[in-house]
Amino acid sequence: MKEEIYIYFIGTAGSGKSTLTHNFKEWMHLRSLDPITVNLDPGAENLPYEPDVDIRDWISLKDIMESYGLGPNGAQIACADMLALNTADIKKSIDSFKADYVLMDTPGQLELFVFREAGKYIVQFLNPERSIIAYLLDHALAKSASGFVSQLLLSLNTNFRLAQSQVNILSKADMLTDEELEQVLRWSQNPEEIGDAILNEKASIYREMSEGILRLIEGFGRENKLYPTGKEDYFGIEDLYTLIQLQFEGGEDLMKD
């Protein structure tokens, strides 16, 4: 019997984590695969999918605000730390589905999951050997050289904090023009080209910082390949699925005949 594969969708607010979670689940259903979705955001509203496991069944942002007299930001931090207290219940609910894939939709604010200890605890408690981080780069920020490099730095930080296999995804890529998408993909494949693009930006302390960040990333020898995805026609989902199969199944496809 195969163990389930955990896919954690992580990125900055508005990067498209919930949308990609929904699209991935729908794509899998169309191919007779067996995924479930898990919402880990206690303050989530108007999700595009109905979670199979929902942290809001245990923790409510509104209740925390009212009970402790906290504002939205303070309550978000309190909820993030409380996630760890409910991890055993989350795992029990996940296990009850006996699914092949568990799509983990993390909190809207990246720092609440990546930079709080609860996030790393959840990954380690569930099944770290069968987990992969799908890090979403915001398409709007990625259009400029300095913005692209800043996104890579956040991706590197996420990898450092969670210590898991990771893939970089250019989310909402279908909202870019063909020229913009080609440019971003070239940057991801050629460090010299992104370096030249940074040098062509207006001289400033921010340009110097971008140069330093790029050198730091290159020093780690990281693979910066991007997998573009989009909302329409499940753009890029099959490539992401294939990568996951290679990671955990040695290329063996779990699609039903």
Q: Identify the three-state secondary structure at position 101.
A: strand
Residue spans of the chain under pLDDT 50: 251, 256-257
CATH topology of domain 5-249: Rossmann fold (3.40.50)
Domains of the chain, residue spans: 5-249
Helix (H) or strand (E) holding 88: helix 87-97
Note the pLDDT of residue 257. Answer: 45
CA atoms of 148 and 171, how far apart (whole Å): 13
Note the pLDDT of residue 253. Answer: 57
> Which residues touch 25 (CB under 8 Å, ≥6 apart)?
35, 36, 37, 49, 103
For 183-242, write each residue's pLDDT tens digit: 999 999 888 899 999 999 998 888 899 998 888 888 776 666 899 999 889 999 999 999
Query: Kindly report the CA angle at 224 between 126 and 157, in degrees rounded to 5?
Result: 50
Note the pLDDT of residue 3. Answer: 85
Query: Kindly report the CA angle at 58 between 52 and 62, in degrees rounded to 5?
Result: 110
Contact 114, 8 (CB under 8 A): no
